[in-house]
């Protein structure tokens, strides 16, 4: 069974640009969550999608957005990039049944560098 | 708000030494608790979990017990190997928080032969 796939693996952008990251969950998983990892702030929750609907959101500005398609694949978009957006963006998928035993499976991440 | 505090690293050990990484949490209700491991250049892998008080999670020789009275979930391993070198994250999930995990800052472990 294929794991969580994130593309691209690396991205370099300049300030003011926008970027789209992609995440393909494990087959059968309907929930996709996104996290930002930086040396200073650690791992922070961005948002979660389930059945094409956002059902939870972290404390990030509106420049960060996402969506989920009918096949459960998800994309996140960051507009008007800032230097501080440089981070490893991790995607996690799960069945989405929202139980105490729900397990998250993480992808290898997309390393975004903003110059 | 909910939070997780774990001991700062790096932790440097010799092979076969005993490992403890401390983790304490602040949360309302009864969160689920997790330890994740991150190897260089990779995403997070679930190491072990516990969903209620006094549960012991275990995997690959690692153990952690959910202690509600001390709000702790310390990670232990009796004999570490060089291959255990990685960054370890303690995390909690609210009972009603869907898949929103709150992570500690991470503890880097380096094991030398």
Nearest to A102 among B43, B99, B102 (CB): B99
Higher-pLDDT residue of B10, B95: B10
- What residues of chain A, 27 to 86, have a C-beta less than 8 Å from chain B? 31, 33, 35, 42-45, 48, 50, 55-56, 58
Residues from B contacting A (CB-CB < 8 Å) are 32, 36, 41-46, 49, 51-52, 89, 91, 95, 97-106
B104 CB neighbours in chain A (<8 A) are: 42
| Listed residue (B44, B30, B45) closest to B93, CA to CA | B30
Residue of B98, B103, B107 best to disrupt the A interface, most CBs of A under 10 A: B98
How far, in Å, CA of B69 to CA of A32, rounded?
Answer: 33
Neighbours of B44 (CB within 10 A): 27
Mean pLDDT of B27-37: 91
**B95 band by pLDDT with thresholds 50, 70 and 90:** low
Lowest mean pLDDT among B73-77, B78-82, B97-101, B109-113: B97-101
Contact predicate B59/B70, CB 8 Å? no
* Structure-derived torsion over alpha carbons of residues B68, B72, B75, B78, reported in degrees to the nearest 10: -70
DSSP structure string for B31-90: -EEEEEEE-TT--EEEEEEE-STT-EEEETTEEEE-BTTTTB--EEESS--GGG-EEEEE
Q: Which residues pair with A33 in a beta bridge?
A: A48, A92
Nearest to B51 among A58, A98, A100 (CB): A100
**B83 band by pLDDT with thresholds 50, 70 and 90:** very high
How far, in Å, CA of B113 to CA of B111, rounded?
Answer: 7
Nearest to B99 among A42, A48, A108 (CB): A48
pLDDT at A100: 65
Residues of chain A with pLDDT > 70, as a percent, come to: 97
Higher-pLDDT residue of A28, B41: A28
Which phi and psi angles does B84 have, rounded to 5°? Answer: -80, -5
Q: Is A79 exposed, middle or buried (0-12, 13-18, 19+ CB in 10 A)?
A: middle
pLDDT at A1: 67
Provide the mean pLDDT of chain A: 94
pLDDT at A35: 97
Q: Residues B70-82: pLDDT tens digits? A: 999 999 999 999 9
DSSP structure string for chain A: ----EEE-SEEEE-TT--EEEEEEPPTT--EEEEEEEETTTEEEEEEEEETTEEEEE-S--TTEEEEE-TTS-EEEEE-S--GGG-EEEEEEEE-----TT---EE---EEEEE-
pLDDT at A65: 97
Largest Cα–Cα separation, chain B: 44
Q: Residues A48-88: pLDDT tens digits? A: 999 999 998 999 999 999 999 999 999 999 999 999 999 99
């Amino acid at each position: 069974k294929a794991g969580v796939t994130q593309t691209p693996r690396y991205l370099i952008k300049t300030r003011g640009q926008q970027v789209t990251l992609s995440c393909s969950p494990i087959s059968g998983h309907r929930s996709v969550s996104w996290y930002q990892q930086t040396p200073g702030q650690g791992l922070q929750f961005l948002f979660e999608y389930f059945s094409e609907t956002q059902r939870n959101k972290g404390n990030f500005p509106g420049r960060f957005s996402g969506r989920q398609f009918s096949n459960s694949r998800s994309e996140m978009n960051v507009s008007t990039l800032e230097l501080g957006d440089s981070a490893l963006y991790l995607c996690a998928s799960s069945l989405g049944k929202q139980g105490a035993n729900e397990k998250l499976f993480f992808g290898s991440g997309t390393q975004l560098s903003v110059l | 708000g909910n939070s997780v505090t774990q001991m700062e690293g790096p932790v440097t050990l010799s092979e076969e030494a005993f490992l403890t990484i401390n983790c304490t949490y602040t949360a309302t209700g009864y969160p689920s608790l997790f330890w994740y491991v991150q190897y260089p250049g990779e995403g997070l892998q679930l190491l072990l979990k516990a969903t209620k008080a006094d549960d012991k999670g275990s995997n690959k020789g690692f153990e952690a017990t959910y202690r509600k009275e001390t709000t702790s979930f310390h990670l232990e391993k009796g004999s570490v190997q060089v291959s255990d070198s990685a960054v370890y994250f303690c995390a909690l999930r609210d009972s009603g928080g869907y898949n929103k995990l709150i992570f500690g800052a991470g503890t880097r472990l380096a094991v030398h032969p």
